[in-house]
Amino acid sequence: AQSVSQHNHHVILSEAASLELGCNYSYGGTVNLFWYVQYPGQHLQLLLKYFSGDPLVKGIKGFEAEFIKSKFSFNLRKPSVQWSDTAEYFCAVNAPMDTGRRALTFGSGTRLQVQP
Amino acid sequence: GAGVSQSPSNKVTEKGKDVELRCDPISGHTALYWYRQSLGQGLEFLIYFQGNSAPDKSGLPSDRFSAERTGGSVSTLTIQRTQQEDSAVYLCASSVAPGQGSTEAFFGQGTRLTVV
């Protein structure tokens, strides 16, 4: 089965700092890639997704992610974080053409804490 | 409905009892997924339905766990003889079928299960 690694478990930043959260996956075939966010007390919401085309994808709230196929990576970035970005961030991957891998596989999550 | 609906939102049960968790997916979504999120952990995949069949049930942790889906809509996750380690938030998600466009998964609010 594919696996997803998020290397940063807990990140603390000050407002206006830049953010980059790492995500690596292991699967050699065609993949869809996602970043989900879970704000305190809320359900998981999609931040952005990559299916094909331009490897630099832009999502909501100023977030973007870059798919680098050669590195099996899909890192999440934001140039200037806000206090309201405090949340848990999950990277996920699936392989829609592979019956055994259509369900999303999630990383363990990164807790982002933004200090005012 | 407008979103994925799960019930109950909270369930406290005694060790050894059986519980049933319900998921009502977004209308028209043929794919349905169950995940488990334990405190401080990422999302653990349990089972994936396409229509009423489950092509991937590899994540069910033991034979105490089972799930069914009827009419291509509502799904029920059943945990028999609950154990304390079953305590977690059980999340349901739905999406259109792979190959029919976006495989973005939409999540419900979850059922918080506490086994005492």
User: Which residue among A43, A46, A102 sits closest to B98, beta carbon to beta carbon?
Assistant: A102
- Neighboring chain B residues of A8 at a CB cutoff of 8 Å: none
Contact B115, B83 (CB under 8 A): yes
Contact A103, A2 (CB under 8 A): no
What is the distance between the alpha carbons of residues A51 and B115, in angstroms, rounded to a whole number? 39
Domains and CATH numbers, chain B: 5-115 (2.60.40.10)
Task: State pLDDT tens for residues A1-17.
Answer: 668 999 889 999 999 99
- Tokens 């369930």 identify what position? B11
Domains and CATH numbers, chain A: 3-115 (2.60.40.10)
- Neighboring chain B residues of A51 at a CB cutoff of 8 Å: 102-103
Task: State pLDDT tens for residues B20-44.
Answer: 999 999 998 999 999 999 876 789 9
Q: How far is B53 from chain A (nearest CA, A)?
A: 12
Task: State pLDDT tens for residues A89-107.
Answer: 999 998 877 767 778 899 9
Does A43 contact B108 at a Cβ distance shorter than 8 Å? yes
- B29, B53, B56: which to substitute to probe chain A, counting the most A Cβ within 10 Å? B56
Q: Concatenated DSSP letters for B9-44?
A: SEEEE-TT--EEEEEE--TT--EEEEEEE-TT--EE
Q: How far is B101 from chain A (nearest CA, A)?
A: 10
pLDDT at B55: 86
Does A104 contact B42 at a Cβ distance shorter than 8 Å? no
Residue B104: pLDDT band with limits 50, 70, 90:
confident
Tell me the two tokens of residue A96.
């829609």
Q: How far is B89 from chain A (nearest CA, A)?
A: 11
For chain A, percent of residues with pLDDT exceeding 90: 75
